[in-house]
A = this chain, B = another copy of it.
Amino acid sequence: MLDLAILGLLQEGDLHGYEIRRRLRDSLGLMANISFGSLYPALARLESAGAVRGIEAGTASPLATGAAMGSLSGELAALRSKRTAIARPKKSKKVYRITDAGRALFTELLAAPATSDDARGFSLRVSFAKYLTPELRVSLLQRRRTQLQDRLSEVCTAAQRNDLDIYARSVVDHTTQGVRQDIAWLDALLDAERERSRPDLTHPNPGGQTMAPVND
């Protein structure tokens, strides 16, 4: 799970641990911050497996810092205009770079059958869905949809019980509603996939962004 997230982020540029954590929170939909107690062991794990290489980015190391800066420039520009501080990781410590083996591992993990109905793992895979083939994308979405639908019907039949107090009832209802909206979201994504697989229609570009190719 974490390995997939790390490899996916490193595909788009070299990063150090702290920054990986931030991206996991902001760029991906992961609301719960992963802890450093997970992150650093995961990085060590990946490095010993040959999937990433740690590059020492000492105070005076122009080539490595250059690579790290490049992937951060956009964020820096945005933030510098608003606040004074926000120091970039100018001279911190280790910067990690993905290897060819790491890229292969990423592809393998991304297409893996997504064991169990884990919401975090699913969101993560959707975040990296541009690296999947259209077929794998659709099957990923449909698998999740089936899981949620099954869960929903189970919970709904069990939620007819009236022995719940107002608080427990409220939690169950709110959760149920959330699942329904997840399903609606999946339906929208699936519709978009079908739309994208059928390129030519009467209108060359009806909805503007809708027909655009996957933006990288």
> What residues make up the interface of A, taking CB atoms closer than 8 Å to B?
25-29, 31-32, 74-75, 78, 116-119, 123, 126-130, 151, 154-155, 158-161, 163-168, 170-172, 174-175, 177-179, 181-182, 185, 189, 192, 209, 214-216
From B27, B32, B170, B192, contact of A126 by CB (8 A): B170
Number of copies: 2
Minimum CB–CB distance from A205 to chain B (whole Å) comes to 15
User: A15 → chain B, closest Cβ, in Å?
Assistant: 14
Q: Once bound together, how far apart are the Cα atoms of A5 and B164, in whole Å?
A: 15
A128 to B171 alpha-carbon distance, docked (Å): 10
Residues of B within 8 A of A177 (CB): 181
> What CA separation (Å) do A200 and B30 show in the bound complex?
44
Known: A117-B32, A161-B75, A178-B178. A167 touches B130 (CB 8 A): yes
